[in-house]
Structure 1
Amino acid sequence: MVNRPSVIAFDVIETLFPLEPLRQRIIDAGQPGHVLELWFSRLLRDAFVLVASGGYRPFPDIATHGLAAVTGGALSDDAVRHIVAGFAELDPHPDVEPAMRLAHDAGVEVITLTNGSVKNTSALLSRAGVDAYVQRVLSVDDIQRWKPAPDIYLHAARTCGVPPERVALVAAHSWDTHGAHHAGLVTGWVSRLEKRFPDIYSPADVTGDDLVAVVEGLLALPEGGSP
């Protein structure tokens, strides 16, 4: 049976902070707006190849390489750097603050678990005014294993001092909740990005149209054992 978590780990990129502001930077550099989706898909593909083969590169390296690749080398190094730097200036979805506040006020430990860096994530959370709710900022850089490798989800549980089944991973990416599920975590999927959950993945324990609905669903799960 799935029980109420004592820790909620929020994914960061796209779950808390949409990438849409990067589209304008891409357009300003003379590229079509749909390059954003091609770029992020390439970024994830390259990261997944590395983790599947036992390798690792940090987010900025993969992002920089991926953008240059999908634009066929049409962008200058300065343009690539400018676009990638936009990851530090993303604005949160409007439901981020109320969702985190809801979890915090319910006595649940709130953390973030990101494929990005601790430095960039901490800056985004501070810029969004939600850093006071977040007790830990965890990154794949900590153990050099990208999500959805099980190691990073287990790292989050160990760091918080709880068993995996007491941690819930909340994400807008079905591949992320799938990975967390197979590491033994509770999972919450917010549907606004993908709309439909893929049948090939293990279903999330809780789903919702927004972050508040997902957190409400997690908090409504039955109480289990001690944290």
Structure 2
Amino acid sequence: MAEIRDIEVVVFDVLGTLVDEPSGLRAGIRDAVPMSDDAAVDELLTSWQQHVEIEQQRISQGHRAYVNTEIIDREAAQRVADQAGVADPATIARLATAGRRLPPWGDSVAGLERLAQQLPVLGLSNASRTALLRLNAHAGLRWHQALSAEAVLAYKPAPEVYQLAIDTAGCPPERVLMVAAHAWDLRAAQARGMRTAYVQRPGGDPPTGSDDFDRRFDGLDELITALTAR
């Protein structure tokens, strides 16, 4: 495996990599539709996720002008509410902000705290600036800086999002490590010259046999040990 000890800045994907997005959205849906069983909640979650994915793809393909995740999440919440027969505006409004209340994975908070004592740490997320601020506060994530793709009016895997992280890091891309639980995210970072580390998470997008990432880890502790060992 390639060494990653010459890294100057570490960049983390947030949604799915450091926080459990599906569980947080499920909790929001259960709160809005308390009588739903597990199967119904999963169906509503799938509807939400499909809307977000489709709309971000439409924006990336130039079929829709850029709007941030707060707008797309409001649309997704309305879609879920319509399917579930929820009409109360306050309930729908709270559901629309479920993405601000996602739980961290068990090793995320302590892991970031440990790594931030050794290296500059950036978050890089498709979440809007406001959603990212509230999410970080709710989950207790420690950053030296958290970057929203909203700053470049694009969504990952658009190259300008990764360039935002590289420019912020202020060093050559080969000294910037992108960490994610999604192979598609790492492929795009790799295409900009960044180093890459895959961290396994439930529901992530695992590498294929053709992926050649610098390192692969079972969890955050293993990654941080590799980065901080001297």
Cα 1:193–1:45 change in 2 (3 A) is farther
Task: Check the 8 A contact 1:24/1:33 in 2, yes or no.
Answer: no
- Corresponding residue to 1:95 among 104, 107, 110: 107
Work out the CA distance in 2 between the residues paired with 1:153 and 1:199: 21
5+ long unaligned stretches in structure 2? none
Aligned to 1:33: 41
Shift of 1:219: 4.7
> Which amino acid is the alignment partner of residue 59 of structure 1?
T
Which structure 2 residues correspond to residues 26-65 of structure 1 after superposition, within 5 A?
26-30=29-33, 32-34=40-42, 35-53=44-62, 55-65=65-75
Query: Tell me, what secondary structure is at the counterpart of 1:33?
Result: helix
State whether structure 2 residue 27 is matched by structure 1 residue 24. Answer: yes
- CA shift, 1:83, in A, is 1.2
Match of 1:122 in 2: 133
Cα deviation for residue 199 of structure 1 reads 2.3
Q: How does 1:163-174 map to 2 (within 5 A)?
A: 163-174=172-183
Determine what percentage of the aligned residue pairs are the same residue: 27
For 1:96 and 1:215, the matched residues in 2 are separated by 11
TM norm structure 2 = 0.81
Asked if 1:86 is matched to 2:98, the reply is yes
Deviations 1:11-54 (A, max 9, x none): 11221121213213313433521122442243123212211227
Contact 1:9 1:111 in 2 (8 A): yes
RMSD over aligned CA atoms reads: 2.6
Cα distance between partner residues in 1 of 2:32 and 2:204? 30
Task: Output the CA distance in 2 between the equivalents of 1:45 and 1:219.
Answer: 39
Query: Post-superposition shift, 1:195?
Result: 6.1
The amino acid that maps onto 2:28 is: R
Distance change >3 Å, CA 196–CA 48, structure 1 → 2: closer
| CA distance in 2: counterparts of 1:40 and 1:201, whole angstroms | 27
In the alignment of these two chains, the number of paired residues is: 218
Contact 1:38 1:70 in 2 (8 A): yes
Q: CA deviation at 1:84?
A: 1.9
TM-score (norm 1): 0.82
Contact 2:116 2:144 in 1 (8 A): no
Q: Does the 8 A contact of 2:157 with 2:184 survive in 1?
A: yes
